[in-house]
Amino acid sequence: MKTVGVITKPQPDLARPTLEKLLSWIDGAGHEALLDPASSEMVSGKKRPTAERSEMPERCGLIVVLGGDGTLLSAARHVYKRDVPILGVNLGHLGFLTEITVDQMIQALEAFESGKAVIQRRMMLTASLIREDKTIEVFHCLNDAVVTKAALARITHFRVEAGGRWLTDMRADGLIVATPTGSTAYNLAAGGPILVPGLNAIILSPLCPHTLTMRPIILDAAEPVCITLLANSEKVYLTADGQSGQPLMSGDKVVIERSRQSVALVGLPRRDYFALLREKLGWGSR
Query: Hey, which residues does 161 pair with through a beta bridge?
Result: 166, 226
Q: How far apart are CA 16 and CA 19, in angstroms?
A: 5
CB 193 within 8 A of CB 217: no
Long-range interactions of 278-286: CB distance < 8 A, separation 24+: 280/94, 280/95, 280/96, 280/184
Strands 134-141 and 201-207: unpaired
pLDDT tens digits, the chain, 286 residues: what are they? Answer: 699 999 999 888 889 999 999 999 999 999 999 999 999 999 887 789 999 999 999 999 999 999 999 999 999 988 888 889 999 999 977 788 898 999 999 999 999 999 999 999 999 999 999 999 999 999 999 999 999 998 777 889 999 999 999 999 999 999 999 999 999 999 999 999 999 998 999 999 999 999 888 999 999 999 999 999 997 777 899 999 999 999 999 999 999 999 999 999 999 887 788 888 888 888 887 6
CB atoms < 10 A from the CB of 37, how many?
13
Q: How far apart are CA 247 and CA 238, in angstroms?
A: 6
Find all residues with CB under 8 Å of 270, minimum gap 6, and list them.
none
Q: How far apart are CA 119 and CA 284, in angstroms?
A: 28
What is the set of active-site residues? 69
Report the pLDDT value the prediction gives residue 1, as an integer from 0 to 100.
67
What size, in residues, is the chain? 286
Report the pLDDT value the prediction gives residue 191, as an integer from 0 to 100.
95
Report the pLDDT value the prediction gives residue 108, as an integer from 0 to 100.
96
Q: How far apart are CA 279 and CA 151, in angstroms?
A: 34
Strands 86-90 and 62-67: parallel
Report the pLDDT value the prediction gives residue 83, as an integer from 0 to 100.
86
Domains of the chain: 3-117+268-281 (3.40.50.10330), 124-261 (2.60.200.30)
- How many CA atoms does the CB half-sphere of 35 hold within 13 Å? 22
